[in-house]
């Protein structure tokens, strides 16, 4: 059970406070309700590039990191399809420095051309390091445009292509800031050894003076129901063939979301999962085979991906996956299997809630989903799921016309 208080400033900034005196630390987590899905399709990768610029100095503070490090603090951030999340961890008695830093960069960045030039290069190197120079690194660059034809989930947060990042201008940066980085588009979480009264005083002092902004969230189209199986074949310099199957699934706020999550656990989580026992161990068609969900706020993807054992044909491998899915749909979930998955969810939730940083992020994310109490009802949402729910969702989504399949083939096979 995570206890919290919440309140809102006149400028629209929402604040969540969670007190935990078992730690000497305090976390300040600022979530802006903007992600790569809000980008212009011709200027992708921008939300993430912007996240880098947030560390490049703000209107009154030249060096964000030096100030924070002087106060014995540390920070980082991440961007997803849906959100951009910044977090600072400080000794609780230095938390005001966190307020100073975070409020100043909400007030205004210093918008330097030099900072933009450098971070553009850094992000381009990140693009190469993580997506181009890794075996199988470009799988998401390939599968997303196959699965999404109109919804902006069709590009990854790093962007569609390097040129989009290269072409970003300082005007783009200013517009993006004005549109999205305002108190009425954000939630601030304070979690740790900081009492509510001090928290309120500091919030008033540092954030109340920041004006709210009029802004409009860009409209984007919803993905129509997929009606035909989609496939794509690519060849790459990798040692093993890989298959990736992406099925559309319900949004995070849909009650079927939990059943879909549990479905992937039954199929592919751990050494007692169906894929592992049947296809990795017994038949050894795959060296690894996983099932997981993309975990997006809106309708996301249920993913199945595996590397084929040497010598196994793609057709054999794919049929084996499909047979396992059919078998599951026809014969259902075992009672033990269901209890097992529920017990696993409980363990995951309880271990996750061990640190103030995790709790802070979870609270902020629940606000995005529209109900902070989700942090405490999440466990029940998993417990409530029945065998029938899981079979229903499997029958709904694990069908060929709802699937995009990427055949990622090894060039090295050809030469042998």
Partner 1 sequence: MTLNRKISPNVIEIKSIHIKEAQENILSNGIKIYTINASNEEVIKIDLVFDAGINVQDFKSQANFTCKMLSEGTSKYSAAELAEKLDFYGAYFQTKNTSEEAIITLYCLNKHLTNCLPFIVKILNDSIFPENDLEILKKNAIQNLKVNEERNSYLVRRAFNQAIFGENTLYGSYSNISDIESIQKEQLVDFYKNHFQKGLKYILASGYVDNETIKIINTYIGSNTFKVYDNIAKKYMAKRTEPTDLYIDKINSVQSAIRIGRRLFNRNHPDFREMQLLNLILGGYFGSRLMKNIREEKGLTYGIYSAIEAYPFDACWYIDTEMNNELCETGIKEIFKELARLRNELIGEKELKTAKNYLLGSFLRSIDGPFSLADRFKILKDFDLEYQYFYEFIEIIKNTTAERLKELANLYLKEEDLTSVIVGTK
Considering only residues 229 to 258 of the shown chain, the ones binding partner 1 according to CB under 8 A are 237-240
Per CB under 8 A, 324 contacts partner 1? no
Q: Of 49 and 297, which CB lies nearer to partner 1 in the complex structure? A: 49
Q: Which of 11, 43, 112, 118 binds partner 1 (CB under 8 A)?
A: 118
Candidates 232, 296, 353, 387: give the one binding partner 1 (CB under 8 A): 353
Q: How far is the CB of 365 from partner 1 (least distance, A)?
A: 20
Should residue 205 be labelled a site residue for partner 1 when binding is judged by CB under 8 A? yes
CB of 298 to partner 1, least distance (A): 29
Told to check if 120 binds partner 1 by CB under 8 A, we report: yes
Query: Does 90 help bind partner 1 (rule: CB under 8 A)?
Result: yes
Q: Does position 211 bind partner 1 by CB under 8 A?
A: no
- Residue 354 binds to partner 1 (criterion: CB under 8 A): yes
List 289's β-bridge partners, or say none: 306
Measured between alpha carbons, how far is 36 from 118 in angstroms, rounded to an integer? 21
- Number of residues forming the site for partner 1 (CB under 8 A): 78
Q: Does 133 interact with partner 1 (rule: CB under 8 A)?
A: yes
**DSSP 3-state helix, strand, coil percentages of the chain (rounded to 5)?**
50, 20, 35
- Between strands 84-91 and 74-79, the pairing is antiparallel
Instruction: Work out whether the CA dihedral 121, 126, 128, 131 comes out positive or negative.
Output: negative
**Distance between CA atoms of residues 139 and 155, nearest Å:** 12
CB of 204 to partner 1, least distance (A): 10
**Chosen residue from 10, 22, 197, 315 binding partner 1 by CB under 8 A:** 22
Task: Label the pairing between strands 84-91 and 403-410.
Answer: unpaired
Stretch that binds partner 1, among 118-126, 317-325, 366-374, 398-406 (CB under 8 A): 118-126
What are the DSSP calls for 131-166, one per residue?
IISSTTTTHHHHHHHHH-SSSGGGS-TT-S-HHHHH
Give the helix/strand (H/E) hosting 234. Answer: strand 230-236
């Amino acid at each position: 059970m995570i206890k919290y208080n919440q309140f809102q400033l006149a400028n629209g900034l929402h604040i969540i406070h969670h007190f935990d005196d078992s730690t000497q630390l305090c976390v300040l987590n600022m979530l802006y309700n903007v992600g790569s899905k809000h980008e212009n399709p011709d200027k992708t990768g921008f939300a993430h590039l912007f996240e880098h610029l947030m560390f490049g100095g703000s209107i009154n503070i030249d060096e964000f990191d030096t100030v924070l490090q002087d106060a014995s603090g540390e920070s980082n951030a991440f961007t997803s399809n849906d959100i951009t999340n910044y977090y600072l961890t400080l000794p609780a008695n230095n938390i005001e420095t966190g307020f100073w830093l975070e409020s100043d960069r909400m007030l205004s960045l210093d918008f330097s051309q030099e900072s933009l030039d450098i971070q553009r290069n850094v992000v381009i190197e990140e693009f190469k390091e993580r997506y181009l120079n890794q075996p199988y690194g470009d799988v998401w660059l390939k599968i997303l445009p196959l699965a999404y034809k109109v919804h902006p989930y069709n590009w990854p947060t790093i962007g569609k292509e390097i040129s989009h990042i290269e072409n970003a201008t300082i005007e783009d940066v200013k517009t993006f800031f004005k549109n999205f980085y305002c108190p009425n588009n954000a939630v601030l979480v304070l979690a740790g050894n900081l009492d509510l009264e001090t928290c309120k005083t500091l919030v008033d002092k540092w954030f109340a003076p920041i004006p709210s902004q009029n802004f409009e969230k860009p409209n984007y189209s919803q993905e129509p129901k997929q009606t035909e199986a989609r496939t794509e074949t690519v060849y790459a310099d990798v040692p093993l063939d890989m298959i990736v199957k992406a099925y559309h699934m319900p949004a995070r706020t849909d009650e079927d979301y939990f059943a879909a999550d549990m479905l992937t656990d039954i199929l592919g989580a751990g050494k007692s999962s169906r894929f592992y026992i049947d296809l990795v161990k017994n038949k050894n068609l795959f060296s690894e085979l996983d099932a997981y969900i993309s975990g997006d706020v809106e309708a996301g993807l249920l993913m199945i991906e595996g590397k084929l054992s040497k010598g196994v044909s793609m057709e054999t491998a794919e049929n084996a996956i499909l047979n396992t899915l059919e078998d599951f749909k026809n014969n259902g979930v075992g009672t033990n299997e269901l209890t097992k998955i529920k017990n696993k969810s409980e363990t995951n939730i309880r271990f996750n809630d061990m640190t103030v940083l995790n709790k802070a992020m979870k609270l902020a994310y629940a606000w995005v989903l529209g109900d902070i109490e989700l942090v405490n009802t999440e466990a029940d949402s998993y417990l409530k799921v029945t065998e029938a729910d899981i079979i229903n969702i499997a029958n709904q989504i694990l069908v060929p016309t709802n699937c995009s399949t990427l055949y990622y083939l090894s060039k090295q096979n050809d030469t042998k």
